[in-house]
């Protein structure tokens, strides 16, 4: 993150890193990067950045990643499904 948003200080970046690592260890860098991209492409409408806005953005990205993981874990694998077929003599 060599470029800095005019309102995003190095202490804010360090704070974002700490918050992301508190939420998750594996995807912390990705969360910070996605938050950074949101700052660059869609800053808040009120014009100024504050930590509550940054925290909200970061937490929403974290929730999106959790929901994505859960939905991938619960996708049905049709190759393992068994179809119940009654035995030939048990049909009614």
**Cα separation, 83 vs 11, whole angstroms:** 58
pLDDT digits (tens, 9 = 90+) for 20-56: 999 987 889 999 999 988 888 888 887 777 888 899 9
pLDDT band per the 50, 70, 90 thresholds, residue 80: low
Torsion of CA 22, 24, 27, 28, to 10 degrees: 0
Count the residues in the chain: 92
Which position has the token pair 């594996």? 26
Query: Looking at residue 75, what is its pLDDT?
Result: 58
Q: Give the predicted TM-score (pTM) of the model.
A: 0.65
State the Cα–Cα distance between residues 44 and 89, nearest whole angstrom.
69
Q: Tell me the percentage of the chain whose pLDDT exceeds 90.
A: 27
User: 83 pLDDT band (50/70/90 cuts)?
Assistant: low
- Residue 4: pLDDT band by 50, 70, 90 thresholds? very low
């Amino acid at each position: 993150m060599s470029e800095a948003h005019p309102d995003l200080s190095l202490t804010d970046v360090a704070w974002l890193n700490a918050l992301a690592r508190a939420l998750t260890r594996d995807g912390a860098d990705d969360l910070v990067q996605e938050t950074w991209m949101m700052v660059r492409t869609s800053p808040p409408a009120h014009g100024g950045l504050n930590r509550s806005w940054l925290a909200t953005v970061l937490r929403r990205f974290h929730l999106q990643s959790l929901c994505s993981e859960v939905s991938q874990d619960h996708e049905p694998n049709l190759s393992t499904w068994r179809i119940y077929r009654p035995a030939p003599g048990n049909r009614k």
